[in-house]
Chain A
Amino acid sequence: MNKHNRFTMAGSIAVSLTVLAMFILNEPAQAKKPFTAAEAEDQKNALLEVVAKGDALWHSGSLGTNGLACANCHPDGAAANTETWPKFQTNLGKVGTLRDMINWCIQVPLEGKAIALDSDEMIAMEAYAAYTSRGIAIAPGKDYQSGAVPVISGPGYPTGRD
């Protein structure tokens, strides 16, 4: 056994021990710790705050000029079909996203002006639509009309309008 081999063997043993240690500790050496309950709660609240903002916009006539709101035709986000985007949408004439469709609705049925796709308002409305479709399997391109997640009462999150 030459020097080189001995060295390699020592290295192999060291690697094996590390791998073994990782198994025993059940924790990859480089991974971050999971979020604490408090951190996860903060993140959830941050989302729900944006969902509530989207809810308010969804029910507001301020996006258009004829008094209509998204909620006139899409109560509880119904038939926004959040889970089906992106898809070819005939009104858009192309494959588009839910945000494109929200803008189409603002411009045509609501007779308003399109808003920036990356604006806080657009993100909020997307968040609202997604939240009212929570749990529904993603099905890009699927051509059907879905209802909102059925609920008995309450939107399932604080709206800030209570």
Chain B
Amino acid sequence: MEKISRRQFLGVSTKASAATLFAGTFAPTATSFFGLAGVAEAATNKVTPFTFAVLTDAHLYDIKNHKFDSILARGVEDINKMNPQPDFVLYGGDLGQLGKPAELEKGRKILSKLKVPIKGIIPGEHDWYLDMGVTWGKMFGKVPWSFDHKGVHFIGLNSILIKDFWSAKGLTPVERMDLVSELECHRCGLWGVREEQLDWLENDVKNLSSNTPVVILTHSPLWDFYPRWNFQTEDAPEIRHILGKFEKVIAIHGHVHQVIYNQIGNMTSIGMLSTSWPWPYPSVDVPYPDIKMNRVDPADIYDGLGSHTVGLDGSFGGVMKYNTWSDLLPENVRRGVKL
């Protein structure tokens, strides 16, 4: 029953009329997302309405003029065309394919064309397991991180940490990376953020009041979608517990290369499209079957991919727009998914 009422809530969004304001336009502003009459949820701390953009999963190869270079560049271009500009961009991991410095450097270069700053970037498994994040760290800095923006607390965690399966087998770094780069790697095991980051998270939110709006970015989803493909984070229950004190948490993740949505307790979770290739849905029931993407044409290199814009209103109501280059989205998703 609960699920049905949630679905109705999403389908018959009170913001639907506002959504029509920007149907067909590419660059919704915070104002056009919500109109001027945002319904205040009294308890939540005030947010100064704003938008930010998110890109993820470029999977760049160390091959000259690779098609994925142009797809990421197109995502960057789209964000640069937004008028007005989003406040900043977040990046959700898997910038490279095999963790090579040349891949990450190429990605850094393409992303440097963004007009607005990248305020937060997290690693994916493809960035990490050649040199255990050394190159990535040198290029993109520390993870976990957090920052505050216009009343919202943003958190980024590294969710792709695997227990050592390679040492005992005597695998080389390249062999380790090759294995991890398979989505269905059955020897690699489950990912998680692990103890140290859980401690960090606990400490990071310790002094925040429960009405603080929180947005968390991870590579993998913070719920069990399809563990075999690591569409999960092993210690997500602990993360959700630590963040359980907040009235509302918006969790945004990469890795799944598809439209996927869930609600767990106070957490609204949304998955993103890649700029490389789309993934089919795994053979499990999804919790909100109305919030999915359509079949993809494999002949169109831009189908199934895109960038994302998130608008947050004054009472921490949110909408995510999937900015696609094809007829990928059913009408309800195209209008924007309420977060």
Residues of A within 8 A of B (CB): 59, 66-68, 71-76, 78-79, 90-91, 105, 108-109, 145-155, 162
Q: Do A145 and B295 have beta carbons less than 8 Å apart?
A: yes
16 other contacts beyond A67-B63, A147-B284, A150-B284, with CB at 8 A cut-off? A66-B63, A67-B66, A73-B277, A75-B279, A76-B183, A78-B282, A78-B283, A79-B280, A91-B298, A109-B298, A145-B295, A148-B282, A150-B226, A152-B227, A154-B186, A162-B187
Q: Interface code B290-312, partner A: CB below 8 Å = 1, 0 otherwise? A: 00000101110100000000000
Known: A71-B183, A150-B228. A105 touches B298 (CB 8 A): yes
A39 to B190, CA, bound (A): 38
A-B contact pairs, 26 of them (CB 8 A): A59-B182, A66-B61, A67-B61, A67-B97, A71-B183, A72-B277, A73-B277, A75-B182, A75-B184, A78-B280, A78-B282, A91-B297, A108-B298, A108-B299, A109-B298, A109-B301, A145-B280, A147-B280, A147-B281, A148-B282, A149-B283, A150-B228, A150-B283, A154-B186, A155-B186, A162-B187
Q: Which of A71, A108, A151 contacts B182 (CB 8 A)?
A: A71
Complex contacts, B278 vs chain A, CB 8 Å: 73
Kindly state whether residue B229 has any CB partner on chain A within 8 Å: yes
Q: Do B298 and A73 have beta carbons less than 8 Å apart?
A: yes
Write the chain A residue with the least CB distance to B283: A147
Write the chain A residue with the least CB distance to B189: A153
Q: Tell me the smallest distance from the CB of A101 to a CB of chain B, in Å.
A: 9
Count contacts between A and B, CB distance < 8 Å. 71
We find that the number of chain B residues with CB closer than 8 angstroms to chain A is 28
Complex contacts, B183 vs chain A, CB 8 Å: 71, 75-76
Q: Which of A66, A90, A148 contacts B283 (CB 8 A)?
A: A148
Q: Which of B67, B276, B283 contacts A146 (CB 8 A)?
A: B283
A109 to B184, CA, bound (A): 20
Complex contacts, B186 vs chain A, CB 8 Å: 153-155
Write the chain B residue with the least CB distance to A105: B298
Complex contacts, A105 vs chain B, CB 8 Å: 298
Q: Do A151 and B228 have beta carbons less than 8 Å apart?
A: yes
Write the chain A residue with the least CB distance to B281: A147
Write the chain B residue with the least CB distance to A61: B61
A113 to B59, CA, bound (A): 23
Complex contacts, A72 vs chain B, CB 8 Å: 276-277
A71 to B279, CA, bound (A): 10
A91 to B295, CA, bound (A): 13
Q: Do A153 and B298 have beta carbons less than 8 Å apart?
A: no
Q: Tell me the smallest distance from the CB of B185 to a CB of chain A, in Å.
A: 10
Identify the interface centre among A72, A109, A148: most chain B CB within 10 Å of its CB. A72
Complex contacts, B277 vs chain A, CB 8 Å: 68, 72-73, 109
Complex contacts, B299 vs chain A, CB 8 Å: 91, 108
A147 to B278, CA, bound (A): 14
Write the chain A residue with the least CB distance to B61: A67
Write the chain A residue with the least CB distance to B227: A152
Q: Do B184 and A66 have beta carbons less than 8 Å apart?
A: no
Write the chain A residue with the least CB distance to B60: A67
Complex contacts, B187 vs chain A, CB 8 Å: 162
Complex contacts, B184 vs chain A, CB 8 Å: 71, 75-76, 155
Q: Do B229 and A75 have beta carbons less than 8 Å apart?
A: yes
Write the chain B residue with the least CB distance to A132: B184
A66 to B283, CA, bound (A): 29
Complex contacts, B280 vs chain A, CB 8 Å: 73-74, 78-79, 145, 147
Complex contacts, A145 vs chain B, CB 8 Å: 280-281, 295
Q: Tell me the smallest distance from the CB of B188 to a CB of chain A, in Å.
A: 10
Complex contacts, A147 vs chain B, CB 8 Å: 280-284
Complex contacts, A151 vs chain B, CB 8 Å: 228
- Tell me the B97-128 residues at the A interface (CB within 8 Å): 97
